[in-house]
Chains A and B, each alone.
Chain A
Amino acid sequence: MSILSIDDPGKQLLYMGNEAIARGAIESGVRVCAAYPGNPSSEIIASLAKVGKELGIYVEWSVNEKVALEVAAGASFAGIRSLCAMKHNGLNVAVDFLYNLNLTGTGAGMVVVVADDPLALSSSNEQDTRHYARMGDLPLLEPGTFQEGKDMVKTAFEMSEELGIPVMLRSVTRFSHARGNVTLGDIPRGQNKPFFDVTKPRLPKPVEKTHKLLHEKLATAGQKFEDLPFNLYQGPDKPELLILTCGTGWYYTKEALHHLKATDRVGIAKVGTSWPLPAKFITEQLAKSQRVLFVEEIDPFLESNVKTFYAQNAAELGPKEFLGKVTGNVADMGENTPDNVMAAIAGCLDDCVVPARDQEHAAQAAEASKRLATTRALGLCAGCPHRATYWAVKNALALDGRGGFVVGDIGCYAQGRGPSGFQQMKTMHAMGSGAGVANGFGQLTRFGMDQPVLAVCGDSTFFHAAIPALTNARYNGSNLLMLVLDNSATAMTGFQPHPGTGRTAMGDTAPVVDVTKVCQSLGAEVIVLDPFDVQKTTETIYDLLQKQDGIKILVLKQVCAMVRTRMGKRLYKVHVDESKCLGEACGCNKYCSRVFKCPGLTFDKTTGKAGIDEAICNGCGVCASLCPESAIIKEAL
């Protein structure tokens, strides 16, 4: 059962922001949903997939965001409402299609949801999606409440269908992953037969016609925005300070004013329709006060566009003081919090002070925490195959002695850049960039480069973006060793399936697109090993590094520790024979816990012996093969 499919209009439930968005799609009669997993957007499609069969919705994990967007467009062209969701980086991948789609137009309503990650809490970078809407001349909505997360999606579908262009919805982590009260609506049951009208082909040219038409549609959207309840004002008629905000800023500014006791002095104008700007609404709000503070994430999007709007209407609006990111009143990157918004507002008002924490308590607590609360670094899980892989890489590179290195990209294996992965990974960028960058390094032997280069990517990343780079290496003869870390999951984002796992988003069996076979079809040398056999893996990597003949591919195939544990298929039960353990003595010096560093291992300073933490160990058994005294015993389960 899922809270997403409950058919009880008027019932109030606690919904995650992403679930509210998904529910909005359901209540709009969506029938095709596609996405590639990416924090903080993954739950949108994941939760739809859970109820897809029950509600007659097709939901898929696509191999990448461009394909996902294309899937949704195909459905829309055939008169079926569709939804595509992605994280901010995904839009970078999909935008080539999006910027043609805006010109060819859509059929049935199509909503594109993009979830940004301010401060890159789970990303390689941060970026503000709203610029894409402006650049692409597409309408964009930003929910400020959980209810809006649902209601805006319904509005977006209607608007998209009326105008014949995709409509974007922009979320951020603190909305998508937060939970709040949402009231349910109806779940429509009508079905129409898909049909693509071939007399109306979808072509982006001639741009004199199509781009002009797009501008007209955008202007119409702007007019429709004026009637929507998503743009609203709360506060005194003539506030000392007007806050123009959107998205998470709504809750933060409301709470800030409550704590500052400034609700009678400051008014909040919430913009829900972030692009195009609702001109009438903006004009009305600006008239309320001479001083305006912008509160938004990440870039000064609202801030800059309102100022541009103001410049065109300055005579009518009179003098204004604009405060925000550009003026330094609000941080120009990262995420907002109630605390920094409080500080920003107080900084703009006379006689307004942020109520202080109990300073003595705060100081005592900070001191105690600093002294006692040991820092908790991120790392690979106990039993992760990537730890074994990076161990083998470290050893092979040390034996090779030519200063070789690893380049990679995003996923759990990105931990290769930290102590958990023995600091092997030396560059990290976008999906599939490891293979791409390695192509470059691998062409430099002709100029005298003697350092061997390895690239790593995961199995999901392989399908998403690495295949073109590997094809390029084969074709252009770049000398590199590619490690495809096949753990049968898109692990980092929540263990979603992908073409190699034999299962679809909706739980059906799927033909397995075999990673090894795809690699072999390139005509390159391909070897498949179990990374838990670290000795063999080290030797194989070393041998492959000695070759100078183009791309070699080593597929390291071992199931993700978390997936294995969930399946209840742990390999071993592991324990330490203390009588054999050397502990800190010469000959070992805590080789397992100090050097291999798996969190399933412990070292007891009083007894001087290693141990296994049964609450953490996932039973991979690699430590047992590394112990120089054979003091770690693994029993097959």
Chain B
Amino acid sequence: MATFNKTGGQQQLKAAMQQSELCTNCGACVDLCPYNVAFNDRIVFLDPCDRDEGRCYAFCPRTPTDLSALYDGLFDAADLTPELGAVKGLYVTRAADPAIRDKAQHGGTVSALMALALKEGMIDSAVLAEDSGELEPRGTVVADADQVASHAGSKFVVSPTVAAFNRLAKGEAQAIGVVATPCQAMALAKMRLKPYAADASHIDKLKLVVGLFCGWALSLQKLAGILEPHLKGSEILKLDIPPSGHACMEVTTEQGMITIPLEEINPAIRPACSGCLDMTAEFADLSVGSARLDGGWEESQGWNQVLVRTEAGQKLMDLAKDAGALEFREAPAGAMDKLKQASMNKKRRALEHLAAQSGSEDDLIYLDPSDPLVIKLKQSWAAQ
């Protein structure tokens, strides 16, 4: 199979992002060098680099990407599914520690897993999105298991956390874990294929990627503008988006919770998200989202569903069970099918969007239309 990869440097990256508007602010192109910085919810190219190939272009999840090579390089062929990527198993879990669950978005599984990984020495540093009263998250590094929980909570805004990994990898840390959105997980996956030999020792420090399910992410600037009149000066304690049927965003402040119709929030969605095929963070070691339980949102809110994808992910999951860091319950019947359907919907919308944007079915901007995976996806829709 022909490889679809192109090489390029900063100028090609800049041109590609300007033309396609697919930049997700993942931060993969930042902190590899002094030329690019992440600031105020965007990537700023401070100075021009004239190299015709570089890591920023190679690691970006939205430059031409050979999907098949990524899956083949990182996962067991036997585990691969067309709908959800590699799946070793599906679990429904929540953090055993109520203190973690209190701070968490839903079940607190991500916090519990990262804290455990730190405690057990699987990693010595965890890269998380920082939580604060403000909307703007920054990738933050935690070396102490007890600090993990304080950074819990979904942000709905992609912060450039991969930049934090880039910084960490140059320093003293030897084993790094990252909590990543699907686009960030793909960037880390591209790194893991080690296209640059000089970087190999840095990449080898990446031991664990915990992915987050993601429908779309929001632009910080636009979201802040939309929320401002509703907040009337009070601080945000929590943001949440219940399952699609509810069609709203829940904003919790000291005054209580208000719901804002999704159609008001939609203008804040990053244009880049329309081109994303990945709902379940397929390039992680394991991926975590909110559960879908029979008792509806009330019940589901407190639990997570987890897809384990790699040996490292399985190891951590087993550890969590043995150490009692997570509580488990049975996944409801049809949970996997529901997940697959939701994921396929996103993939379909994304491919349609990419073709519409380029004006041609044969130009999927950053994906190869001749990739067997892409062809298989299209065939499965045609069959329906």
A–B touching in complex (CB under 8 Å): yes
When distances are taken between beta carbons in the complex, the residues of chain B under 8 Å from A394 are 46
Given contacts A399-B40, A628-B33, A628-B34, contact A586 B46 (CB under 8 A): no
Whether A587 pairs with B37 at a CB distance below 8 angstroms is: no
Q: Please tell me if the beta carbons of A399 and B196 are within 8 angstroms of each other in the complex.
A: no
Within 8 A of A (CB), among B18-48: 32-35, 37, 39-40, 42, 44-48
Q: Which residues of B contact A401 (CB under 8 A)?
A: 40, 42, 44
**Minimum CB distance partner of A626 in chain B:** B34
Residues of A with C-beta under 8 A to B2: none
Chain A residues within an 8 Å CB radius of B99 = none
CB of A99 closer than 8 Å to a CB of B = no
Minimum distance in angstroms from B201 CB to a CB of chain A? 13
Complexed CA–CA distance, A395 and B48 (Å): 12
Check B42–A586 contact: CB distance below 8 A. Answer: no
User: Which residue of chain A is the closest to B37 with respect to CB atoms?
Assistant: A399
Contact mask A573-594 → B, CB, 8 Å, 1/0? 0000000000011111101001
Contact partner of B54 among A398, A586, A594, A628, CB < 8 A? Answer: A586
The yes or no answer to A595 lying at the interface (CB within 8 A) is yes
How far is it, in angstroms, between the C-alpha of A96 and the C-alpha of B196 when the chains are bound?
69
- Is A398's CB under 8 angstroms from B34's CB? no
Contact call B40/A586, Cβ cutoff below 8 A = no
Q: Which residues of A contact B198 (CB under 8 A)?
A: 585-586
Nearest Cβ in chain B — how far from A424, in angstroms? 13
Q: Provide the residues of chain B in CB contact with A626, threshold 8 Å.
A: 34
Check B44–A398 contact: CB distance below 8 A: yes
Give which listed residue, A398, A586, A628, contacts B55 with CB less than 8 A. Answer: A586
B336 at the interface (CB under 8 A from A): no
Q: In the complex the two chains form, what is the Cα distance from A586 to B58 in whole Å?
A: 11
Instruction: Report whether B44 and A399 are in contact in the complex, using a CB–CB cutoff of 8 Å.
Output: yes
B32 touches A587 (CB 8 A): yes
Q: Which residues of A contact B34 (CB under 8 A)?
A: 588, 591, 626, 628
Give min CB distance, B169 to chain A, whole Å.
12
Which of B39, B47, B50, B53 contacts A399, CB < 8 Å?
Answer: B39
Q: Report A-chain residues with C-beta under 8 Å of the C-beta of B37.
A: 399
Q: Please pick, from A398, A588, A594, the residue contacting B46 in the complex, using a CB distance under 8 A.
A: A398
Q: How far is the CA of A587 from the CA of B47 in the complex (A)?
A: 13
A398 to B40 Cα, complex, angstroms:
11
Identify the closest chain A residue to B47 (Cβ): A595
Per the 8 Å Cβ criterion, residues 383-439 of A in contact with B are 394-395, 398-399, 401
Binary flags per residue of B357-370, CB closer than 8 Å to A gives 1, else 0: 00000000000000
Q: B232 interface residue, CB < 8 Å from A?
A: no
Interchain CA distance A588-B50 in the complex, whole Å: 11
Q: Chain A residues near B33: list those with CB within 8 A.
A: 586-589, 591, 628
Query: Which residues does chain A contribute within 8 Å of B39, judged by CB atoms?
Result: 399
Cβ distance B171 to chain A, nearest Cβ, rounded Å:
12
Contacts of B40 in A (CB 8 A): 399, 401
Q: Which residues of A contact B32 (CB under 8 A)?
A: 586-587
Interface residues in B327-375 by Cβ distance below 8 A to A read none
DSSP majority for the B interface? loop
The CA-CA distance from A586 to B35 in the complex, in Å, is 11
B residues in contact with A589, CB < 8 Å: 33, 35, 49-51
**Residues from chain A with Cβ under 8 Å of B47 in the complex:** 591, 595
Instruction: Give A594 to B51 CA distance when docked, in angstroms.
Output: 12
Q: How many B residues touch the partner, as a band?
A: 20 to 34
CA distance A401 to B42 in the complex (A): 10
Chain A: CB-nearest residue to B48: A595
Cα-based distance from A394 to B46 in the complex (angstroms) = 8
For chain A residues 554-606, which have a beta carbon within 8 Å of chain B?
584-589, 591, 594-595
* Interfacial residues of chain B within 41-79, with CB under 8 A of chain A in the complex: 42, 44-51, 53-55
A591 / chain B contacts, CB cutoff of 8 Å: 33-35, 47
Interface size on A, residues (CB 8 A): 16
Report yes or no: B54 in contact with A395, Cβ–Cβ below 8 A: no
Q: Say yes or no: A395-B46 contact (C-beta < 8 A), given A586-B32, A589-B33.
A: yes
Complex CA gap A586/B44 in Å reads 18
- Bound complex: CA A595 to CA B49 (Å): 9
**Closest Cβ neighbor of A629 among chain B residues:** B170
Chain A residues within an 8 Å CB radius of B44: 398-399, 401
When C-beta atoms are compared, the residue in chain B nearest to A585 turns out to be B198
A399 to B36, CA, bound (A): 11
Closest Cβ neighbor of A628 among chain B residues: B34
B202-233 CB mask vs A (1 if < 8 Å, else 0) is 00000000000000000000000000000000
A399 and chain B: residue at smallest CB distance: B39
What is the CB-to-nearest-CB distance from B33 to chain A, in angstroms, rounded to a whole number? 5
A626 to B35, CA, bound (A): 11
Set of chain B residues within 8 Å of A584, measured between Cβ atoms: 51
Which residues from B are CB-within-8-Å of A398? 44-46
Cα distance A626–B33 when bound, in Å? 11
Among A394, A398, A587, A626, the one with the most B-chain Cβ atoms within 10 Å of its Cβ is A587
Q: Complex formed: what's the CA distance from A244 to B49 in Å?
A: 58
Complex Cα–Cα for A586 and B9 (A): 9
Q: Report the bound CA distance from A595 to B46 in whole Å.
A: 10
CB-CB contacts below 8 Å: B143-158 with A: none
CB contacts (< 8 Å) of B42 on chain A: these are 401
Q: How far is the CA of A462 from the CA of B208 in the complex (A)?
A: 58
List chain B residues, Cβ under 8 A from A594.
50
Residue picked from B32, B34, B42, most chain A C-beta under 10 Å: B34
Determine the distance from Cα of A591 to Cα of B50 in the docked complex, in whole angstroms.
11
User: Closest approach, in angstroms, between the C-beta of A394 and any C-beta of chain B?
Assistant: 8
Query: Shortest beta-carbon distance, A608 to chain B, in Å?
Result: 13
Q: Kindly list chain B residues whose C-beta atoms are within 8 Å of the C-beta of A595.
A: 35, 47-48
Interchain nearest-CB distance for B336 vs A (Å): 42
The smallest beta-carbon distance between A397 and chain B, in angstroms, is: 10
Chain A nearest CB, measured from B131 CB (Å):
24
Question: Given the complex of chains A and B, what is the CA–CA distance between A100 and B49 in angstroms?
Answer: 58
Chain B residue with Cβ nearest A588:
B33
Closest B residue to A596 by beta carbon equals: B47
In the complex, chain B residues whose CB is within 8 Å of the CB of A628: 33-34
A586 to B54, CA, bound (A): 6
Question: Cβ of A585: which chain B residues have Cβ within 8 Å of it?
Answer: 198
Nearest B-chain residue to A595, judged by Cβ: B47
Residue among B35, B37, B45, B48 with most chain A CB within 10 A: B35
Chain A residue with the shortest CB-CB distance to B45: A398
Q: How far is the CA of A328 from the CA of B32 in the complex (A)?
A: 61
- In the complex the two chains form, what is the Cα distance from A587 to B170 in whole Å? 11
Chain A nearest Cβ from B53, distance in angstroms: 8
Chain A residues, CB < 8 A from B53 = 586
User: What residue in chain A is nearest B54 (Cβ atoms)?
Assistant: A586
- Residues of chain B within 8 A (CB-CB) of A395 are 46
Cα A394 to Cα B34 in complex, Å, equals: 14
Q: Which residues on A sit within 8 Å (CB–CB) of B49?
A: 589
A586 to B57, CA, bound (A): 11
CA distance A556 to B51 in the complex (A): 34
Which residues from B are CB-within-8-Å of A587? Answer: 32-33, 55
Q: Min CB distance, B162 to chain A, in Å?
A: 16
With A and B bound together, what is the CA distance between A589 and B49 in angstroms? 7
In the complex, which residue of chain A has the Cβ closest to the Cβ of B33? Answer: A587
Nearest Cβ on chain A to B39's Cβ, whole angstroms: 5
Within the assembled complex, what's the spacing in Å between the Cα atoms of A353 and B35?
Answer: 59
Q: Which residue of A lies closest to B42 (CB)?
A: A401
A591 to B36, alpha carbons, bound, how many Å? 12
A594-B50, A595-B48 known; 9 new pairs, CB 8 Å cut-off, are A401-B42, A586-B51, A586-B198, A587-B33, A588-B34, A591-B35, A591-B47, A595-B47, A626-B34
Residues of A whose CB lies within 8 Å of any CB of B are 394-395, 398-399, 401, 584-589, 591, 594-595, 626, 628
Those 7 A-B pairs whose CB atoms lie nearest each other, nearest first: A586-B54, A587-B33, A628-B34, A595-B47, A399-B39, A398-B46, A589-B49
30 sampled A-B residue pairs with Cβ under 8 A? A394-B46, A395-B46, A398-B45, A398-B46, A399-B39, A399-B40, A399-B44, A399-B46, A401-B42, A401-B44, A584-B51, A586-B32, A586-B33, A586-B54, A586-B55, A586-B196, A586-B198, A587-B32, A587-B55, A588-B33, A588-B34, A589-B35, A589-B50, A589-B51, A591-B35, A591-B47, A595-B35, A595-B47, A595-B48, A626-B34
